[in-house]
Amino acid sequence: MMNCEQATRLMSDSRERELSIRERAAIKMHNLMCSGCRNFNVQIDQVGKMARRFAREKDDAPADSKEKPNDR
């Protein structure tokens, strides 16, 4: 049985690469029994969505309002 550290690592990895069938099944089994890891999975999905939305909004901003690297 997978522990929480392994499960959350694989959930994070799934954002960067496609997991094997075995890895996906192990996460699914773990999440059936672990509400903390289920919550973690929901939260990293939400963070990813927010990051993509922020990037889109930043790209859509008028050119004069975009921050220049030396303006920090």
Task: Give a yes or no: residue 28 inside a domain.
Answer: yes
pLDDT over 80 at 69, yes or no: no
Task: Give a yes or no: residue 48 inside a domain.
Answer: yes
Task: Give a yes or no: residue 35 inside a domain.
Answer: yes
pTM equals 0.72
The span from the CA of 25 to the CA of 45, in Å, is: 18
Task: Give a yes or no: residue 70 inside a domain.
Answer: no
Task: Give a yes or no: residue 65 inside a domain.
Answer: no
Task: Give a yes or no: residue 52 inside a domain.
Answer: yes
Picking from 36, 14, 39, 40, the residue whose alpha carbon sits closest to that of residue 25 is 14
Domain that holds residue 55: 4-59
DSSP letters spanning the chain: ---HHHHHHHHHHTTTSPPPHHHHHHHHHHHHH-HHHHHHHHHHHHHHHHHHHHHHHHHHS-GGGSPPGGG-
Give 68's pLDDT tier (boundaries 50, 70, 90): low
Structure tokens, 11: 């959930």
Count of structural domains within the chain? 1
Task: Give a yes or no: residue 33 inside a domain.
Answer: yes
pLDDT over 80 at 71, yes or no: no
